[in-house]
Amino acid sequence: MNVTLLSYTPDPERTCAAAALTSFWHKGASETHHVLSDEEIDDILTKVMGYGHVSVIEHATFTFSLEGISRACSHQLVRHRVASYTQQSQRYVEIENFSPVLPPSVRANRDAAKVYDDVMGSVKQAYEKLIGLGIDNEDARFVLPNATPTNIVVTMNARELRHFFKMRCCERAQWEIRDVARRMLACVRPVAPRLFRRAGPSCVCEGRCPEGDLSCGRIRGAADEEG
Amino acid sequence: MNVTLLSYTPDPERTCAAAALTSFWHKGASETHHVLSDEEIDDILTKVMGYGHVSVIEHATFTFSLEGISRACSHQLVRHRVASYTQQSQRYVEIENFSPVLPPSVRANRDAAKVYDDVMGSVKQAYEKLIGLGIDNEDARFVLPNATPTNIVVTMNARELRHFFKMRCCERAQWEIRDVARRMLACVRPVAPRLFRRAGPSCVCEGRCPEGDLSCGRIRGAADEEG
Amino acid sequence: MNVTLLSYTPDPERTCAAAALTSFWHKGASETHHVLSDEEIDDILTKVMGYGHVSVIEHATFTFSLEGISRACSHQLVRHRVASYTQQSQRYVEIENFSPVLPPSVRANRDAAKVYDDVMGSVKQAYEKLIGLGIDNEDARFVLPNATPTNIVVTMNARELRHFFKMRCCERAQWEIRDVARRMLACVRPVAPRLFRRAGPSCVCEGRCPEGDLSCGRIRGAADEEG
Amino acid sequence: MNVTLLSYTPDPERTCAAAALTSFWHKGASETHHVLSDEEIDDILTKVMGYGHVSVIEHATFTFSLEGISRACSHQLVRHRVASYTQQSQRYVEIENFSPVLPPSVRANRDAAKVYDDVMGSVKQAYEKLIGLGIDNEDARFVLPNATPTNIVVTMNARELRHFFKMRCCERAQWEIRDVARRMLACVRPVAPRLFRRAGPSCVCEGRCPEGDLSCGRIRGAADEEG
């Protein structure tokens, strides 16, 4: 898996702070945007995010390239509707000799790993045979497994990213999308530390766990991890 | 594949017409909703939809159960973001001895069908072996193919449905989601004929084809199909 | 102000429960929808909503007619983007001799009430003069105040409604939209008690207050109000 | 009115082209993003936008500061739901001696202009009296007119912007939001000419007019204006 931050709103915290200031000052953002000091930006964002006025951080958007994730993972990902996606098409791209994503639990189990490798080999052969028999990509792909790697470009704003991190950085999320989410968070935190302060699962961002009996129990140590 | 209309806004055309009337009359919808005649409903909807004021038909929503569609198809479906989805989970549900979706092009090709059946058999065996070896559903499912059937409940409003039909009833859409879209249209047309008048691909709803060289050429006969 | 529930998904709890069941059972909703008992519906909704799997309640939508609210209030309302709106147009409808919305704080202050009444009289006269001088509705309306009453039809799903109630039933929300929100909650609770159990401001739905120093202090009594 | 482009995705066409390429190539965007030539970017965007695959241009977002527009205009603006807004609050900001937005039709009519000025004077006095009598901003503002200027920061992606321009650059849109839309288009065209090629009302972007009898008749000359 490869997670890259391709592009993002320049000076994202300045943009969000200028927007926030618009709501409670008589001056417009064209006047304040260029003159805000780092300290003022910090003050404004601390104040409005502290009050839960999170809509202001929607003005900062981040575009990622996620490469080599499984189709199982991309199917979960695109369920987040407040985002833009462009995904590698299995209709237009012939999926040659792919490297399937391998779950850690399978890797750790020698017998399971053997079963997994064998069936992946059979599937690749079948896919190529179908193509050879004149079946189109779009129909041959019906044999491709959830493990098939895919590439996807994702754009989300900072508010939706924080929500995504809350849901998907949690120990209770599936391991692969959790790995994606943590890498995405590692990409954005250095470029917008104030927008992603205390971003993470509920135990980090809210100091509480909604999972009840299913909790991982990590809440006791959550304070240590705050960004 | 099974497509069922589970539920929908009662008297959907009355609700949309009363909403539309709100925009250009001094009376509120609580006064007009119950007294509009069928003729008035027809007049109002013809007028506002003719002007392209399609937001009024968002007040009517439709909930479908789609059953036995492939995961390839559900992955395309959930890319439509203005909708609500609840899908069968491959994490929580063990996918026992499933009946894979079979593309018509494979069915029609005896050699391909043999390849397809064989690999599906291998995959099912591998999945069951992995479960038997103690691998969780959520990781064993990495071997499951795009052809695996799934169930999904979908709610869309009439405006989004019309857009969905425009995109997905087109000959250029993939056969499976086109089949889904046509069945959904067949479900809603009888219960809301005015909301879905001339619903369908661009050639039906707009009288033109945006596909250029890739067009199916059907535009010449489109007028015959208008609802 | 008049708040009316115009229409809603029939048997909304059954629809949401059948959708929820889809996610963790092998049967599709077309099989379960009609046979679920009230007890099963209750069990399913209690379970999934308890886990925070709130997307399933998006399948139930509710359409309201809000009449006689101020344009100040409708401007706040339409900022909720996951909803459908049709509003009385000040471009198409001539706003004759309207009854302005009167804030309680103004009503309670005899001098302020006098100022308010006088200026509303001047504004109505000016509006009528402008129309008389041949100015179109759409430009004459520039003199109309925030207090001008408007009618609007709103459709929201149960998930968005719960979010709306969380934000707008709070003592810290403005009095008018709080009044709207409470009336809307009073409309939907009887027809879908399980979907709106513990719906309300944060102190009711989450048992905590995010307002810090600005809190109304009501949290201590919140448990008493849970529906 | 002042319309300023505050910020936008750096090199927006490169970002969208790299995203588009992801869908039909085996390489991910992290490999292609930095190496695409201008010519390749042009080819890719021409191709995908020609096919109507407009979702790829969602990866480019643009943030504007709109200052001194009327509340009538901002109320229309925020009805576009696929966007992020932060608006000057009439609850938090005291609206001192404001300069009302003046419709051209009123400006051009000496008698109407006199009526307009007079009533705006009365309204300002009333607002200040109410504040003086201890009425809070949030209630005093009920007397403020639609003409009251406001500032708002708006972020939209290129796809939604094109839709916004289609709706609001049209002669049939109200003059003020049309002015806003045209200025926004003038801001983005120089920085992303390919994303906004042929952006504008239906007559420009689609070469046809949906307004029927209400058409301005401009369609005959539309070809001359294409960007």
**Distance, in angstroms, between C15 CA and closest chain A CA?**
20
- Return the exposure string of A84-113: e unless at least 16 CB atoms fall within 10 Å of the residue's CB, then b: bbbbbebeebebeebebbbbebbeebeebb
Distance from CA of B51 to the nearest CA of D (A): 6
The confidence band for A223, taking pLDDT boundaries of 50, 70 and 90, is: very low
Q: Which residues of chain B have pLDDT under 50?
A: 221-227
Its ipTM equals: 0.93
**CB-side exposure of D183: number of CA atoms within 13 Å?**
16
> Sign of dihedral through CA atoms B65, B71, B76, B78?
positive
Q: Which residues of A touch B116 (CB under 8 A)?
A: 126, 130, 142-143
Instruction: Determine which one of D14, D141, D159, D168 is catalytic.
Output: D168
In B58-183, DSSP assigns E strands to: 61-70, 84-87, 149-157
Range C105-112, long-range pairs (CB < 8 A, 24+ positions): C105/D135, C105/D136, C105/D139, C106/D130, C106/D135, C106/D139, C106/D142, C109/D133, C109/D134, C109/D135, C111/D133, C112/D129, C112/D130, C112/D133, C112/D134, C112/D135
Instruction: For residue C126, give the chain D residue with the closest CA.
Output: D115
Give the chain C residue whose CA is nearest to the CA of D132: C112
Mutate to test the interface with B, among A115, A117, A138, A153 (most CBs of B within 10 A): A115
Q: What is the band of D220 on the pLDDT scale with cuts at 50, 70, 90?
A: low
Interface contact B10-C7, CB threshold 8 A: yes
Average pLDDT over residues D72-77: 96
- The predicted pLDDT at position C220 comes to 54
Query: Residues D78-117: pLDDT tens digits?
Result: 999 999 999 999 998 888 889 999 999 999 999 999 999 9
- Among B57, B54, B5, smallest CA distance to B180 is for B5
Q: Which pLDDT value is given to residue A211?
A: 79
Can you tell me whether residue C15 is helix, strand or coil? Answer: helix
User: Tokens 């939604």, residue?
Assistant: D160
Q: What is the DSSP string of A116-179?
A: HHHHHHHHHHHHHHHHHTT--HHHHGGG-BTT-EEEEEEEEEHHHHHHHHHHHSSTTS-HHHHH
Asked if C23 lies within 8 A of B92 by C-beta distance, the reply is: yes
CA distance readout (Å), A12 to A57, A190, A199: 9, 12, 16
Which residues in chain D have Cβ-Cβ distances shorter than 8 Å to A23?
86-89, 92
Nearest C-alpha of chain C: how many angstroms from A211? Answer: 6
Nearest CA in chain B to D48: B211
C227 has a pLDDT exceeding 50:
no
Q: Which positions in chain D touch A15 (Cβ < 8 Å)?
A: 6-7, 63
Chains B, C: CB contacts under 8 A, how many?
152
Q: What is the pLDDT of residues A113-169, one digit of tens each?
A: 999 999 999 999 999 999 999 999 999 999 999 999 999 999 999 999 999 999 999
* Cross-chain CB nearest to A141 (options B72, B100, B134): B72
Predicted local distance difference test score (pLDDT) of residue C224: 44
pLDDT value of residue A222: 42
Here the tokens at position A158 are: 């900072």
Question: Catalytic: B168?
Answer: yes
Q: What is the mean pLDDT of chain D?
A: 93
Which pLDDT score is estimated for D210?
81
Q: Is the pLDDT of residue D134 over 90?
A: yes
Cβ atoms of D68 and D149 closer than 8 Å: yes
Q: What is the DSSP letter of B37?
A: -
Note the pLDDT of residue B41: 97
Question: How high is the pLDDT of residue D66?
Answer: 98
Of C52, C212, C214, the CB nearest to A210: C52
CATH of A2-85+149-201, one of 2.60.120.10, 3.40.50.1220, 3.90.1170.50, 3.30.1360.170: 3.30.1360.170
pLDDT per position as a tens digit, C174-215: 999 999 999 999 999 999 999 999 999 999 998 888 877 788
User: Which pLDDT score, from 0 to 100, does residue B220 have?
Assistant: 54
Per-residue pLDDT band for D222 (boundaries 50, 70, 90) equals: very low
**Residue A221 confidence (pLDDT) above 60:** no
- The domain locations on chain D are 2-85+149-198, 101-143
Which chains border D (3 or more CB–CB pairs < 8 Å)?
Answer: A, B, C
Task: Say if residues A160 and A189 touch (Cβ distance below 8 Å).
Answer: no
CATH of C2-85+149-198 among 3.90.1150.10, 3.30.1360.170, 3.40.630.10, 3.30.70.260: 3.30.1360.170
Specify the pTM. Answer: 0.94
**Residue D145, min C-alpha distance to chain B (Å):** 20
With beta carbons under 8 A apart, name residues in chain D contacting A80. none
- Asked if the model's pLDDT at residue D224 lies above 50, the reply is no
| pLDDT digit string, tens, across residues C138-154 | 999 999 999 999 999 99
End-to-end CA distance of chain C: 24
Q: Is C36 helix (H, G, I), strand (E, B) or coil?
A: coil
- In this prediction, residue C225 carries a pLDDT of 47
Whether the CB-CB separation of B16 and B60 falls below 8 Å is answered with yes
Binary contact (D63, A15; C-beta < 8 A): yes
How many angstroms separate the CA atoms of B189 and B192, rounded? 5
Whether the per-residue pLDDT at A31 is higher than 90: the answer is yes
What integer pLDDT is reported at residue C92 of this predicted model? 87
Measuring CA to CA, which residue among B212, B194, B227 is closest to residue B40?
B194
* Residue C61 tokens, joined: 């939508």
Is the model more confident about D210 or about D188?
D188
Q: Which CATH class is domain B2-85+149-202?
A: alpha beta
Question: How confident is the model over D36-68, as pLDDT tens digits?
Answer: 999 999 999 999 998 888 999 999 999 999 999
Question: What is the structure's pLDDT at A212?
Answer: 77
Mean pLDDT of A211-222: 73
Q: Give chains near C: 3+ CB pairs under 8 A.
A: A, B, D
- What does the pLDDT read at residue A220? 54
Q: How many other CB atoms are found less than 10 A from the CB of residue A118?
A: 14
Structure tokens at D9: 């995705």
HSE (CB half, 13 Å, CA atoms) of D61? 27
B93 to chain C: which residues are within 8 Å by CB? 24-26
